[in-house]
Amino acid sequence: MSVDVKTVKRVARLARIAVSEEDAERMTGELNAILGFVEQLNEVDVSGVEPMTSVTPMEMKKRQDVVTDGNKAADIVANAPATEENFFLVPKVVE
Amino acid sequence: MSDLTQLTISQARAKLRAKEITATEITEAYLSAIERANPALNAYVAVTDDKARDMAKASDAKLTKGEGGSLEGIPLGIKDLFGTEGIHTQACSHVLDGFKPRYESTVTGNLWADGAVMLGKLNMDEFAMGSSNETSYYGPVVNPWRRSRLDTVVMPTTHQGDGGFVSAGGTRTARTLDNAQLVPGGSSGGSASAVSAFLCAGATATDTGGSIRQPAAFTGTVGIKPTYGRCSRWGIVAFASSLDQAGPIARDVRDAAILLRSMASVDPKDTTSVDRPVPDYEAAIGKPIKGMKVGIPKEYRIDGMPEEIETLWQKGIAWLRDAGAEIVDISLPHTKYALPAYYIVAPAEASSNLARYDGVRYGLRVPGKDIVDMYEKTRAAGFGREVKRRIMIGTYVLSAGYYDAYYLQAQKVRNLIKRDFENVFAAGVDVILTPATPSAAFGIADEDMAADPVKMYLNDIFTVTVNMAGLPGIAVPAGLDAKGLPLGLQLIGRPFDEETLFQTAHVIEQAAGSFQPEKWW
């Protein structure tokens, strides 16, 4: 399988990365090189093989359903580019 | 000892405990070495000198009283991927500009609890994506090793060669260093360069496809990626969560064992952290390997592999055989599919993990006409080319209609790769010996690598299988190539059997000797 410029632009939109026409064209070539390389996986017989879900056979750890910390609003917004009274500020989303 | 930076961790530990040196003295020695060397090597992206001095002072107070942890007063460098409270943590990406976490990663927290001193944050490929440390927003790291040429020089009989060898016939061989700058490997290039150039006693690193072992091999240092689940991932910037593991890069095998014991722990904050006590890895060093079964996988003999790598591998086999190990030929039939499967699984996980960099919660924000425009502009400006490329691949293989063909197929192949190893270990093989990399360090801005991303990816061909199967792997220096550059061998072990890796790597180290770059910086 290979991708065209239109697909690259669609994928960039899904990934929320702005791309120029020039970027999209360069990326098309690069992505096709990588997709060409991974193509060889199709020759592997995987009948009856489960997809890997966990590399180490282990039971999912669960913790007690109790509060372990909190009251850290100031810490949480400390690194944000724009905040007001411990809220994240974003451009208007709903008209 | 005139230069305290020359001490290994085990030597420094003994001298600190015996009060022959102080933590402040050794810390100052490293800080001045960094000041002199960093403009040339670019290994550190942030030097935390005030913090280092405070930590050293606190260590000295403990050491004076005969107290202190297993790493008390030992100065370390920390890869920029580890969250360090109140200190530069940017994964060497523009998108994390100014990020200073309000928490400490579990691994670094373990090191500080044991008394280690932080010298600063180390350069790396952006978000740990790369094999040459050229994708860093802070520019490439330079390998302290340079190619050299061997010349035969006729000597006047009274003169002793400076660094060369005086031969019986009155001639000596001298190495002339080439000026070309080489990469230290990646993604933990800053860690490898700093350890190799004596800019820290040891360093933390991380390995998703070879990012500890490949740079260790390129710089003549020792690097171990432990079993998946051995070191907590909590507080480490995520790349591909099912593959990422932290581990140390150190000057010798013993130092790597000392560091890993401190870094590893059982952590309730990481659900993939495995409930197993951390053994004393150092105790495994020096144990005989007589009767150990060492597997040699035929699939690691690849087309176009330089003759020197094959020769090195044969030397390694001979050293282990001489030490009493039994050498057996093995087959890991799905080896060639590990790298293509990795280039589906890792980008898929990365595209998901890196979705959080949205210009809202931390780091860079580029304003836009609406929120989506802001996201797109922020991510376009904040991520470098390689990171964007991997996010794009990951987004594509996870998108509707392609998930089964790419992602599910890769995860099935991943199970087959793991099964190959399980079969070999079930047949009684204790450890597997392979080359660490298909070549020695290459030049910065290598044209072939720049033109074809897949060519760069091939650097990880011998290391990536280990991440796909979740196994431990260690790279240990084993010799120099004809141009005087270090080459490494890799040992792969059973899950949670890092002890056998240290034990066997030490045998190789004893036979091969240790390697230091000639100082030019």
Residue B322 near residue B510 (C-beta atoms within 8 A): no
A59 inside 8 A of chain B by CB = no
Give yes or no: residues B172 and B258 share one domain: no
Active site residue B439: no
Q: Which of B10, B59, B131, B187 is catalytic?
A: B187
Q: How far apart are CA A50 and CA A42, in angstroms?
A: 16
Tell me: pLDDT of B279 over 80.
yes
The reply to whether B205 falls in a domain is yes
In chain A, the domains with their CATH numbers are 5-41 (1.10.20)
Tell me: pLDDT of B160 over 60.
no
Give yes or no: residues B164 and B271 share one domain: no
Residue B233 near residue A60 (C-beta atoms within 8 A): no
Q: What is the mean pLDDT of residues B211-231?
A: 98
Give yes or no: residues B156 and B124 share one domain: no
Q: What is the mean pLDDT of residues B317-327?
A: 98
Give yes or no: residues B48 and B67 share one domain: yes
Give yes or no: residues B160 and B21 share one domain: no
In which band, very low, low, confident or very high, does the pLDDT at B161 lie, cut at 50, 70 and 90?
very low
**What pLDDT is recorded for position B171?**
75
Handedness of CA B286, B292, B295, B296 (dihedral sign): positive
A55 to B358: CB separation less than 8 angstroms, yes or no: no
Which residue type does B464 have? V
A24 inside 8 A of chain B by CB = no
**What pLDDT is recorded for position B254?**
98
Q: Which of B282, B309, B339 is the last residue of a domain?
A: B282
B411 inside 8 A of chain A by CB = yes
Instruction: Find which of A5, A14, A17, A71 to mutate to test the B interface (most B CBs within 10 Å of its CB).
Output: A17
Q: What is the mean pLDDT of residues B364-392?
A: 97
Cα–Cα–Cα angle for B156, B157, B159, rounded to 5 degrees: 70
- Across all residues in chain B, what is the average pLDDT? 95
When divided into structural domains, chain B yields a total of: 2
Give yes or no: residues B135 and B270 share one domain: yes
Candidate from B100-114, B294-308, B335-349, B421-435 with smallest mean pLDDT: B294-308
Handedness of CA B361, B366, B368, B374 (dihedral sign): negative
Q: Which residues contact A75 (CB under 8 A, 6 or more apart)?
A: B102
The whole-angstrom distance between A70's CA and the closest CA on chain B is 13
**What pLDDT is recorded for position A56?**
85
Give yes or no: residues B155 and B256 share one domain: no
pLDDT tens, residue by residue, A35-49:
999 999 999 999 999
Phi-psi region of B295 (alpha: psi -120 to 50; beta: other; left: phi over 0): beta
Tell me: pLDDT of B450 over 90.
no
In which band, very low, low, confident or very high, does the pLDDT at B169 lie, cut at 50, 70 and 90?
low
Around Cβ A26, how many Cβ atoms within 10 Å?
15
In which band, very low, low, confident or very high, does the pLDDT at B4 lie, cut at 50, 70 and 90?
very high
What is the interface pTM, i.e. ipTM, of the complex? Answer: 0.96
pLDDT tens, residue by residue, B461-499:
999 999 999 999 999 999 999 999 999 999 999 999 999
According to DSSP, the β-strands at B245-250 and B222-225 are antiparallel
Residue numbers of the domain that contains B61:
4-142+188-282
A68 inside 8 A of chain B by CB = no
| Among B44, B219, B204, B249, CA closest to B139 | B44
A56 inside 8 A of chain B by CB = yes
B368 to A61: CB separation less than 8 angstroms, yes or no: no
Give yes or no: residues B215 and B247 share one domain: yes
Q: Which of B282, B309, B334 is the last residue of a domain?
A: B282
**What pLDDT is recorded for position A63?**
84
**What pLDDT is recorded for position B2?**
63
The reply to whether B243 falls in a domain is yes
Q: How far apart are CA B16 and CA B60, in angstroms?
A: 9
Instruction: Find which of B274, B276, B395 to mutate to test the A interface (most A CBs within 10 Å of its CB).
Output: B395
List the single residue in B274, B341, B379 with the smallest CB-CB distance to A41. Answer: B341
A18 to B362: CB separation less than 8 angstroms, yes or no: no
The reply to whether B154 falls in a domain is yes
The reply to whether B255 falls in a domain is yes
Beta-strand (E) ranges in B8-124? 44-47, 75-79, 117-122
**Structure tokens, B82:** 């580890």
Cα separation values, A79 from A3, B100, B238, B366, Å: 38, 7, 18, 15
Residue B265 near residue B273 (C-beta atoms within 8 A): yes
CATH number, residue B213:
3.90.1300.10
Q: Which of B250, B282, B314 is the last residue of a domain?
A: B282
B406 inside 8 A of chain A by CB = yes
- DSSP for B247-295, written as a single string: EEEESSHHHHHHHHHHH----TT-TTS---PPP-GGGGTT---TT-EEE
In which band, very low, low, confident or very high, does the pLDDT at B437 lie, cut at 50, 70 and 90?
very high
The whole-angstrom distance between A1's CA and the closest CA on chain B is 10
Q: How far apart are CA A86 and CA B142, in angstroms?
A: 42
